[in-house]
Amino acid sequence: MVSLGLGLFLASASIVGANGATCTQPDTPAAVRSMPSETPALLQASGSHGIAQVIVTLTPQSAQPANVELVQSTGDAIVDAAAIEVARATLFVPETRDCNPVGGRYFYEFNV
C-alpha cells in the first residue's frame, strides 16, 4: 500500500503544451499507476511487516523508477529490502507541467 497525497488540477479547456500535445489537465502530480499484486517472497517467508519511506526518482520517459533510495528504515532489513523491491516494481505516471511530462524525486511511504 502506498500513502500518497494527490492533488488534482481541473482545466475547463484544452491546452497545447510546448511539445504540441493537447491536454485538459496541463499540470498534474506524479501518481502511482500500478503496484505489484504479490507480496515479495522474502517478506512472505519472514512474516515481518512495516512502513518504509523511500525517495523514487522518475524520468519523463519511463513509468518505472530510475532510482529508489531508502530514506527511513523500518529497522528490519528484510522489510526494507521488500519495500525497495516493491518501489522498483511499481509503475508511475510522471508529473506534468504545461502538458509535458517531467522527471523528479518523490517521497512515498510503502506499507509492506
- Of 72, 94, 70, 86, residue with least CA distance to 2: 86
pLDDT tens digits, one per residue of 29-77: 999 999 988 888 878 888 888 899 999 999 998 889 999 999 999 999 9
The mean pLDDT of 16-36, rounded to a whole number, is 80
Cβ-count burial 20-41 (b if 16+ within 10 Å, e if not): eeebeebbbbbeeeeeeeeebe
Phi, psi of 98 (to 5 degrees): 50, 40
Q: Return the percentage of the chain with pLDDT > 70, whole number.
A: 81
pTM: 0.74
Residue extents of the structural domains in the chain: 2-111
> Is CATH 3.30.2420 what the domain over 2-111 is classified as, yes or no?
yes
- Compute CA 37 distance to the chain's CA centroid, rounded to the nearest angstrom: 15
**Phi-psi region at 3: left, alpha or beta (left = phi > 0; alpha = psi -120 to 50):** beta
